[in-house]
Every structure is written in structure tokens, then in C-alpha cells.
Amino acid sequence: MVQSCPEASPMKWHQAHTTWFFETFVLRPFLPDYKPFREEFRWLFNSYYNSIGEAPPEKQLRASFSRPSLTEIIAFRTHVDEAMEELFANEIYDEAARRIVLGLHHEQQHQELMLTDIKHAFFSNPLRPVYEDAALVGARDVSRSEFRWHRFHGGMTEIGYQLDSTGCLDFCFDNETPRHKVYLEAFGIANRSVTCGEYLEFMTDDGYTRPEFWLSEGWEPVRKDGWRAPLYWERDATDSTGWRIFTLRGWHPLSALLDTPVCHVSFFEADAFARWRGRRLPTEAEWELAANGSSIHGNLLETGRLHPAIACSDGLNQLFGDCWEWTASPYTGYPGYKPLPGALGEYNGKFMSGQMILRGGSCVTPASHLRATYRNFFQPETRWQFTGIRLAE
């Protein structure tokens, strides 16, 4: 039942909500005579689909509902799984198939969110429990990739997902379309993410107390919430750096993680660091151009590391995995964007205000969930996600 911040959710809510998605958008409309598990669940596990009906008020934490129990939620899942098997025994029409594939990707998003929520919940607990009691592999044993720039010529390029005209079910989210032309000036992009050691230099140079580096909206949480370091960093006089970092594998001294990407920073912190370095964040179009042609490999969920790793190879590193990378681009619709019809149009389109784009995935993102065109988005003060920094100029 733990919900340690408004952005997070209890574990049993994640399981119930992803089950609710299949019941609401697949079984109710496409399986004749389907009987819902409990009608109350239509309201209780709705997140933000206003077209479906009312949902619990946003100010009411999901942890405030002690029932249904986990046992009943598992029974709900079993009920929906059995009904899905019945649906699969019938002819699956295109619209039902599209919704099933969307539901699978939706579930992958929640698998990632569960790990971010567990980390925040354990950090918020004064006992600081450990999710997985094992050493961080390779924290000290490889050499960091030296910082360098990769240059790209300016000109016209295309970004966005190229829909398959044959009608096959190759997947993308609606906000990745339509593919369209953009003009870019020549630019350079860093070969790897900013490291903890580099970010520590920003902190040591009083980066958090110098307003000239901060956007006005970002300076407010620095003052009000007392930001002095990334989330999960804590003072530690026993380490040579004076800091330690909380991970899903427990506490680790910062001195052992200096060459790993800095993580759990807000857009405002990423932007302030870039200004301090005399650089900037890449736009999402620049990031996508740099990532085009790159295979989806890196420190993703399948590695089991559950924490960012050191970049140690030549070329463009860490485009996929390790940390979601903030871009300088606000989350808006592409030219000609049309949300999905009906309630599913609320999946992405309704959030196109006050959010910033992130690219690339993190160490807790499933590899099969990602594409170079994938557009993640969060509010600029978000820190509980696995979010990091890549510089551009």
C-alpha cells in the first residue's frame, strides 16, 4: 500500500490499473457477454481517462484505499487473463489487436514505474530497506570514456515514427507521429552522459546558490525545497567526496560511482548544469538525429544492474539505457498530430502542456519498449525518475 509521493503509486495499484486497462479498452468492447470482475473497479483504478467516467480525486492518495486486498487484485488479474484467453480463441479484429499491443506497452511503462516507485518508497523509509542485496557490478573496474563532441551538419532532416502503410501492427505511441521535416543548424552532442563526478564539480562551485544559472521557475524549488544535490544523494563524512548515494541495491559511496551518469536530476538542474558548463541541452530533434541508426542496446532492465553504468566505449554512448536524458524541447504535438479517437486519445495528447521531453530510456526500461523516436515526458521539476543529462552545443 506504500505511496511515498503523489507521483508514485502503490504496487498493487500498478497491477490493478494495468489489468483495468485490458478490461476497459479490450474486453468490455470486444468480448461479447463479458462480465466485469467488480463494477467499482471501473472507477477505482481509472487513472486520468475522463471520457471513461470519474476517477478518484487527484488529491486523494491511492494508498488511502486499504481495500481491495492484494489477494483480490490477483483474482481480478486472473479473471481478466482468462477472459483474454477466451478473446484470443475468437477472430481478433484490427482495432482490438491495436489496443492489445498498446496495453502491453502500457504495462511495460508500469513495470518501469514500479521500480522507480519502490526506490522512492525505500528511500523515504527511515530504515532504508534494500530492494536487491547485491553489489553493483563494474562500479570501479572499467575506465571512463573520455568526453568528446560528435558533430552533425545542419540542414533539413526528418524526425518521428514512419507509420507502416501496409497496416501491420508495428508499434509506436501516437505522440511519435506524424513523421515530419525539421531544419537544424549544425550542432555538437556529447558522446556520453554527464557523470556524478562532473556534477559534483558543479555543486562544489556553489551551483545551487548561484541564480545566474537557473531558470526562474527552477530557482523556486532550489530555495523552497532546499535542493543542494540530486535526489538520493546524502551527506557522508566517511567518504572522501563527502557524499553517498542510495540505490536499489542500498547505499554506495559516491567515490565508487564518480564515473557513472548522474541520475535523478530535474530538468531545471540539468539546464543549470549545462549553463554552468557554457553549453546547453540538446533539442529532441538533435537527439533523435544522433540516435538514428543506433541499435537498442545498453544498460537497460535486462542487464539486471538497476543503476546507471560507466560509459567505456568509443562512439556515441548511453543513448539507450542508464538514464532518461532531458532535452530542451517542451512536450507538444508534432505538426499534423492527431490523438487516437475516443478515450484512448487521453493517453498522451492531454498532457501536452507544462512538460519537457526526455529521450533514450533508463536502466529500468525494458529494451523492447524503446525506439529512437520514443518521446517520454515529465514536469520539469521531476526527480524521482531515472533522469540524467547529455550536453549539446
What's the rounded Cα separation, in Å, for the pair 280 and 345?
Answer: 33
What pTM, to 2 d.p., does this model score? 0.94
| pLDDT of res. 164 | 73
> Which structural domains are found in the chain, ordered by start?
11-124 (no CATH), 149-388 (3.90.1580.10)
> Sign of dihedral through CA atoms 119, 125, 128, 134?
negative
Give the pLDDT band (50/70/90) at residue 265.
Answer: very high
Which residues lie below 8 Å from residue 39, measured CB to CB, with a gap of 6+? none
pLDDT tens for residues 11-48?
999 999 999 999 999 999 999 999 999 998 988 888 77
What's the rounded Cα separation, in Å, for the pair 191 and 149?
Answer: 6
One-letter amino acid for residue 318 of the chain: Q
pLDDT tens for residues 338-382?
887 776 777 788 889 999 999 999 999 999 999 999 999 999 999
Element (H, E) at 79: helix 70-88
Q: Do 321 and 306 meet the contact criterion of CB atoms below 8 Å apart?
A: no
Q: Which three cell numbers stand for residue 259?
A: 564515473
Dmax of the chain from CA atoms? 66
What's the rounded Cα separation, in Å, for the pair 309 and 259?
Answer: 8
Does 59 have pLDDT greater than 60?
A: no
| pLDDT of res. 58 | 62
Of 40, 37, 45, 44, the C-alpha closest to 17 is: 45
